[in-house]
């Protein structure tokens, strides 16, 4: 083999290595004719195989999908995790565009992941106060370099809703959740005036609030408990109502604080298991929006579901 042939073979070898293909020699196969010996060709020929596809590692998510909800104006966090079937480097965790307005992930990049190592990922769900309600769907993707591994399906419902105090409920679009009070382990507090209370926590004219909380079920009869709790109020009516298919007690009453400040209130006392659920609607007595407040309070009550 002369020097020119050697240079050509070396050049082809370099090209094969660069493109990532396989390099091998082949000898043409010529079947021998009957009665004659098979003659080999003068030399081998050079063949280059196509580049081998890069295989993605097997990613196992825990849980295998995410389905959750977030209220408008609220933020919540979830934790998921994944493991890889083989070592990986230059790993990124990406969100598809449909989820970007509502979901953030951390971490977003990982320099390396060991085989079988559990990687925890924090999902932050949020929705602005003006976000339209509805469900968004998408996936969280894991990329190992340029290779896409198994994604995590994500379904997020944007709602005017809240889950706390053993209940979940929806509320009308003109009501807002006082998340700060809830974060301090206070009641579920909704209002129509963006938490803009007057001095001393007074409900402004034209506004209304709804408070929902739970306490251990009193040992005394419910009627006695209600009478004691509302001892300073003027009770206008007491009726039996149905909440989630069970009997509850609804009381309408007036609280007077000064000659110019009185609240009209509707309270529902709903015993269930070892808990007493209490739902209150309050607004200024004589407010012309009273029919609307009552209708929206009933809407909240009708959406109520127990979570414990």
Mean pLDDT (whole number) for 256-266: 96
Q: Minimum mean pLDDT among 23-27, 170-174, 203-207, 255-259: which range?
A: 23-27
d(CA 283, CA 238): 18
Q: What pLDDT score does 22 carry?
A: 46
Q: How do the domains of the chain map onto residue ranges?
A: 3-31+40-48, 59-159, 161-306
Q: From the DSSP assignment, how many helices (H) and strands (E) are in the chain?
A: 4, 22
Give per-residue pLDDT as tens, 193-202: 999 999 989 9
Give per-residue pLDDT as tens, 118-161: 999 999 999 988 888 899 999 999 998 888 888 999 999 999 88
| CATH tag, 161-306 | 3.40.1000.10
Q: Note the helical H segments in 62-178.
A: none
Fold classification of 59-159 (topology level): Immunoglobulin-like (2.60.40)
Buried b (16+ CB within 10 A) or exposed e, 73-110: bbeeeeebebbbeeebeebebebeeebeebbebeeeeb
Give per-residue pLDDT as tens, 212-252: 999 999 999 999 999 999 999 999 999 999 999 999 999 99
**Tokens representing 134?**
């509805």
**Tokens representing 124?**
């932050």
pTM for the model stands at: 0.65
């Amino acid at each position: 083999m002369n020097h020119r042939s050697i240079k050509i073979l070396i050049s082809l070898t370099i090209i094969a290595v660069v493109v990532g293909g396989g390099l091998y020699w082949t000898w043409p196969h010529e079947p021998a004719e009957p009665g004659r010996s098979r003659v080999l060709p003068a030399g081998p020929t050079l063949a280059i195989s196509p580049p081998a596809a890069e295989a993605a590692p097997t990613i196992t998510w825990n849980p295998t999908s995410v389905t959750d909800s977030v209220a408008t104006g609220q933020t919540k966090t979830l934790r998921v995790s994944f493991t890889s079937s083989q070592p990986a480097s230059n790993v990124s965790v990406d969100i598809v565009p449909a989820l970007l307005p509502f979901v953030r992930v951390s971490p977003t990049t990982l320099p390396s992941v060991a085989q079988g190592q559990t990687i925890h990922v924090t999902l932050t769900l949020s929705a602005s106060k003006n976000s339209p309600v509805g469900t968004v769907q998408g996936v969280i993707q894991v990329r190992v370099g340029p290779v896409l591994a198994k994604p995590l399906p994500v379904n997020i419902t944007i709602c005017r809703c809240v889950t706390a105090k053993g209940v979940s409920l929806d509320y009308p679009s003109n009501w807002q959740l006082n998340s700060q009070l809830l974060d301090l382990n206070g009641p579920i507090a909704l209002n129509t005036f963006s938490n803009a209370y007057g001095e001393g926590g007074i409900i402004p004219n034209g506004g209304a609030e709804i408070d929902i909380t739970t306490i251990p079920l009193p040992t005394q009869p419910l009627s006695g408990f209600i009478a004691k709790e509302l001892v300073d109020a003027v009770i206008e009516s007491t009726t039996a109502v149905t909440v989630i298919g069970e009997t509850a007690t609804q009381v309408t009453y007036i609280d007077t604080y000064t000659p110019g400040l009185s609240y009209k209130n509707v309270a529902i006392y709903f015993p269930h298991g070892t808990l007493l659920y209490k739902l209150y609607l309050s607004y200024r007595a004589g407010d012309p929006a009273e029919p609307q407040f009552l209708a929206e309070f009933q809407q909240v009550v009708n959406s109520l579901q127990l979570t414990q």
